[in-house]
Amino acid sequence: MTDSTTAPIALITGASRGIGRLLAQKLGQRGVTVVVTYKGNADLAEQSLADVKAAGGDGITAQVDIEQPESIDALFDLVRDTYGRLDMFVANAAASAFKPVAQLKLHHLDRSYATNARSFVLGAQRAAELMDRGGRIVVVTSYGSLRAFPTYAALGAAKAMTEAYTKYMAVEYGPRQITVNAVNGGLIDTDSLDYFYNAVPGMAPMETVIEKLPLQRPGTADDMADAVDFLLSDKASYITGQTLSVDGGLTVIAPPYWADTTSPLRDAVLPTAPAGAE
């Protein structure tokens, strides 16, 4: 075990790219020591850790396959042996199959449960054991937990399960001063969004969805990382058991959509195209 330190210790799954990497850098700016986990690309993880150190933090990289319970155990054993404690745990990594319910096979269901719901529960159990002076647990979910749309059943159902577990954990871990929350993302401009709208055969064009959002743009990885960073901070010390939607208003709209209206009703909300524009 290394010498004890006053710097907070954070563990982020899937921290080698996307939302996890940006979050790690933001925590580094606060002087946090970050355990940057990855599944297969050690080089990307090292680059992410370099960002953390350049921002003012410290940390290590660690390989984990969240689908395997023994790999999760090995990860938290490493944290215990290296730092002796943990202050923040962010369950960010995810994976699933994008298929209609009728096409889901047993291995799709098993993997979606293992990588999203089961890994969160097992990770939170081990994280809480190391939070000897209170702590923060945050799981990253998505709007498929709240709304049904094509090919997202396996992942959406798993994310809904993690949000349910968030409430139960908040109640049980609260007396130990551990808060547990979820950040539910909408259309966030990451590699995953690009894959969903461009690699799934027959998927609706992304622009037809974005035009219906109240904010009329996809979110950014920064938008998500900022929300998680807030819930990990002292400013959120009295918030627990909550799911924070970061979705540009996606989950408050319903048909008929303003984007589908015409003048004169449309003109009351949506800007009129400038003269000469097509």
Helices (H) and strands (E) in the chain, counts: 9, 7
**SS3 for 71?**
helix
- Tokens in use for 143? 């709007």
Kindly report each contact of residues 200-207 with a partner whose C-beta sits within 8 Å and lies 24 or more positions away, as own/partner.
200/98, 200/151, 203/150, 203/151, 204/150
Region of 150 on the Ramachandran plot (φ > 0 left; ψ -120 to 50 alpha; else beta): beta
The first and second tokens of residue 236, run together, are 């959120």
Active-site annotation, residues? 152, 159
Of 265, 13, 5, 225, the residue nearest 116 (C-alpha): 13
Q: Which two tokens stand for residue 162?
A: 């993690």
* Terminal CA-CA length for the chain: 65
Which two structure tokens, joined as six digits, stand for 257? Answer: 């959509």
Phi-psi label, residue 126: left if phi above 0, alpha if psi -120 to 50, beta otherwise: alpha
The CA distance from 45 to 36, in Å, is: 6
How buried is residue 84: exposed, middle or buried, by Cβ count under 10 Å (0-12/13-18/19+)? middle
* CB burial of residue 94 (10 Å; 0-12, 13-18, 19+): buried
89 and 9 in contact (C-beta within 8 Å)? Answer: no
